[in-house]
Amino acid sequence: MSVAGLRRAARESVSGLPREFWWLWTSTLVNRLGAFVATFMVLYLTLDGGYSASYAGLVVALHGLGGVISSLGGGVMADRLGRRPTLLIAQSSTAVSVAVLGFMHHPVSIAAVAFVVGMASNASRPAVQAMMADIVRPEDRVRAFSLNYWAINLGFAISSVAAGFIAEYSYLAGFLGEAAMTLVCAVVVFVKLPESRPERATAAGPAEPEIGMGTVLRDRRFMSVVGLSFLIALIFMQGYIGLPLAMGADGFSSSDFGMAIAVNGVLIVALQIPVTRFIEHRDPRRLLIISSLLAGYGFWLTTFAGSIGMYALTVCVWTLAEIVNAPTQTGLVVRLSPLHARGRYQGMHTMSWSVAALVAPLLAGFVIDRFGAQWLWGVCAVLGTVAGLGYWLLMRALPAETERKDVVAEDEPAWEDRVPCEPVRDVVTPPAAVQ
């Protein structure tokens, strides 16, 4: 492709998205630039604190348990209080709790504060996804989710390398740095982002049914997607739990792990946007199946790694799976989510990752301590195969373009066309009321 073609492709990738999206994108980028706890918790506990892999797994699991609870709570808050208040509460709480965690030394206090950090940090995710779905046109959402994921990994690529060297100097500096960056995110949300939660129609007509968590749980199709998302998340989590444990056992340092895992962020930064343009209008069934298999067997290749270069090569393989899976899966979740329950549905989807964050460290610690890392990579291959089969069974029963009947899609007004007010809302007439 020529230079002019590359410029045109770049322009098309970022054009047409509302200003509010870019402020939300900026908040995401700043947040990931300060990421430290989730990436280096295992090494902090085992190398710096001298704790066992099992204890490190327990602490990270408690961090995940906090996320399980707050994923659902954050989704409900996003629907009831609004996206903006939920983001402000979650990010401010995260900043405080991360700073406190850096000063904890007793095993019980470390575990307790890690649980609080997990609760605070995960509460913002449903609100971010719901706000993004609110403010971006339906036809632009896959591209918007891809750009947001690109920001996550741009920040991660930079922070993982920098934080690896910071960790060798002072883990406390890493904790305080993440707290400061998260507080900056809260300031961006407070100053630049209006509320985006859709208001229910007040015109005369059939009353809209209330959607609670029970409705979400009874949605078999959506819950099947949540279950498969859990399996995929369980695999990808090993990049931040099983991989540092395996590299530590092989004698590699925290900066070595930082360099290897940074490949993940660098590849996503380089390939996420062009790959998304390539797959945007392709069959999501095949994409989800292929990405599942690529993820499982990508981690299985880690069995043969013995140098930083080989570890980095295996990261390349499962990163390709992540690039394909992330926007495809997120787009499917939005299409299955009713308009006025986006927060709850996004919260349930986020919970699948939070449950994986709870189970993955326990799985990794147990398997590595008892059997060795090579068995963990074999488990990843099995999980990838099961997830691929699950997507094949689920998606063959669905139409190519799955859309909830109670979601306004093509007729949903664009963000910039909505009536300005404070806070900004979009008033959408429910399909049942359309004559």
Going residue by residue through the chain (435 aa), what tens digit of pLDDT does each one get? 555 555 665 566 677 788 888 888 888 888 777 777 766 777 778 877 778 877 887 887 788 788 788 877 888 888 888 888 998 998 899 999 989 988 888 889 988 998 998 888 888 888 888 888 888 887 777 778 888 888 887 877 777 677 777 777 778 888 888 888 888 888 888 888 888 777 765 444 455 556 667 777 788 888 888 899 999 999 998 988 888 888 887 778 777 887 888 788 788 878 877 887 777 667 777 888 999 999 999 999 988 887 888 888 999 999 999 988 888 887 778 777 776 677 788 888 888 887 887 788 778 888 888 888 889 999 999 999 999 998 888 777 665 554 444 444 444 444 444 433 333 333 333 333 332
pLDDT at 10: 59
| Calpha distance 13→151 (Å, rounded) | 13
- Torsions phi, psi for 199 (to 5 deg): -90, 145
CB 189 within 8 A of CB 87: yes
Produce one character per residue of 207-226: b if its CB has 16 or more CB atoms within 10 Å, e if not: ebeebeeeebeebeebebbb
Give the DSSP H or E segment for 48. Answer: none
Site of tokens 């899966």: 329
Please name the residues in contact with 149: beta carbons below 8 A apart, sequence gap of 6 or more. 268, 272, 326, 327, 330
Q: pTM here?
A: 0.67
Query: Class for domain 18-198+215-419, per CATH?
Result: mainly alpha
> Among 41, 38, 265, 243, which residue's Cα sits nearest to residue 156?
265
Produce one character per residue of 276-291: b if its CB has 16 or more CB atoms within 10 Å, e if not: beebeeeebbebbbbb
Within 10 Å of residue 168's Cβ, how many Cβ atoms? 14
Token pair for residue 297? 């067997």
pLDDT at 417: 44
CB 53 within 8 A of CB 35: no
| Calpha distance 292→388 (Å, rounded) | 5
CA distances from 184 to 17, 28, 34, 157, 432 (A): 23, 11, 10, 19, 42
Please name the residues in contact with 205: beta carbons below 8 A apart, sequence gap of 6 or more. 429, 430, 432, 433
3-state SS, one letter per residue, for 275-314: HHHHHCCCCHHHHHHHHHHHHHHHHHHHHHCCCHHHHHHH
Give the DSSP H or E segment for 402. Answer: none
pLDDT at 327: 80
pLDDT at 406: 46
